[in-house]
A and B are shown apart, each in its own frame.
Chain A
């Protein structure tokens, strides 16, 4: 494998390519590629009819709808508030700004199970926020709303962290030029700032969405896990596994895997677009 890579290598004086590349490919193959390939091979054991039957089972379809729908809503909420948080962190100075900035990363560092039980404790009918809503007869935990809250939590840093550097790098002179040309603050935001931030915003949205699709730990505690109502796709996979229905679990997993690859592709394209949009590397 190392020699194969070597033949693709362009000349350079720095040594160690064969060794490090060999190890990289070997490790990548053993840990990631072979097991993932195993999943694809496993689905091939299923006939087309079985495959279709598995993924069109009403309970599975409902789970797909819930997973995709709520992930989308959660990512949308994160896009709006993520932009707001990024804007405030970059543009304004206020007490505790540094602390708030650091806190944004918490969902990256906090184990999802902990997030799950903490959010449940807050939004359960007897929880701090849950009881306020309970008075009005609104249930949050153990409903799709609860799922949305968990997915908002785990997706929160993505939009902030993709939009923040773009906002920071915006050329203040561009805004000054616009104001000299007579634009109002709102016009500057919608016509100058937003268009330049949009690709990054969409990339952040896509990342939050992709992450939400696969999320398991934080959701299962708060979701209530009622079939057809608040069951997410990863949970269906786990249930199938517990019933030793490996083929069914694999079929659903394959669909999810394909969805995440498509998301990955979209994210990559959006990041490239973001770069171009901001005037980087596009010459005639």
Chain B
């Protein structure tokens, strides 16, 4: 009942006239086109402005490679940790009944509502040389702030809720009957999780991981505050983009940015695929 094709009879009582329909569709397409499609296209146009050669040079230059390496390293630590957390949290929350559940979910969602800059700031306050913990770390020669560990921790913070938030509603929707049946049939908790729960939620889980990963690789504000911007050392891809851009090296900036854009597009594409799959099931 909801999908009214363009060529539907105009005098249908529940459909706007053809003119209104076309106007609304046109306006929406214009909006999406100018706000979303155009920025997407411009990244690639600017990146390839001086040809494929300059493009490849920009992304294979040592500092760029270092940034890519650091980004991959960061994501490869942050994503698995948040994945484990997401699974643990959703198991505890969705499959059990306890008081304070809503409060806990709100706390898990907190990092989403905190400005990225503040997400970075809280770790500066914690690990900075002005703080007690920071001084203790300094005296033991452990560098967290303006070094890789700080970047990793800030990334974990900003991507903290992704898997959990995707999994909790999904696992709640599944109910507990299947798990209860499995337990009654003699399965251990681990077996139940692995063989009953996980197969039911695997696509949602994959989606959560993808989003978590996209954000981990693309985070700018929080990482920028804790990184110290040391070229070739503590620069992630987004920070490298910023440096190149501020040096008016636009082609290189967009070339490196195009890597992140491709990542975003791939994430969306897989998401689409997963959603179609879920619809079929």
Contacts and interface: CB of A to CB of B under 8 A. Distances in A.
A–B: direct contact at CB < 8 Å? yes
Contacts of B224: 216-217, 238
Contacts, number: 298
Interface string A199-215: 00000000000100111
B14 A172 contact: yes
A249 B95 contact: no
Contacts of A9: 96-98
Contacts of B89: 20, 24, 28
B125 A234 contact: no
A102 to B, nearest CB: 5
Interface stretch (B23-31, B53-61, B198-206): B23-31
A284 interface: no
A27 B32 CA distance: 39
A244 to B, nearest CB: 8
A87 B118 contact: no
A10 interface: yes
B264 A12 contact: no
Main secondary structure, interface of B, reads helix
Main secondary structure, interface of A, reads helix
Q: How large is the interface on B (under 10, 10 to 19, 20 to 34, 35 or more residues)?
A: 35 or more
Given A14-B95, A31-B153, A176-B13, A108 B211 contact: yes
A39 B118 contact: yes
B13 A179 contact: yes
Contacts of A5: 98
A156 interface: yes
Interface residues of A, number: 92
B121 A111 contact: no
B183 interface: yes
B260 A110 contact: yes
A218 to B, nearest CB: 8
B254 A117 contact: yes
Contact of B257 (A87, A113, A263, A264): A113
B267 to A, nearest CB: 5
A40 B121 CA distance: 12
Interface in B75-131: 84-85, 87-89, 91-93, 95-100, 104, 106-111, 113-118, 121-126, 128, 130-131
Interface string A61-94: 0000000000000000000010011011111111
Contacts of B42: 118, 121-122, 128
A176 B14 contact: yes
Q: Which 5 residue pairs across A and B have the least CB separation, nearest first? A: A111-B218, A214-B115, A15-B189, A217-B220, A216-B221
Given A14-B192, A109-B263, A109-B267, 7 more contacts: A8-B99, A8-B100, A24-B88, A88-B28, A111-B219, A117-B43, A216-B224
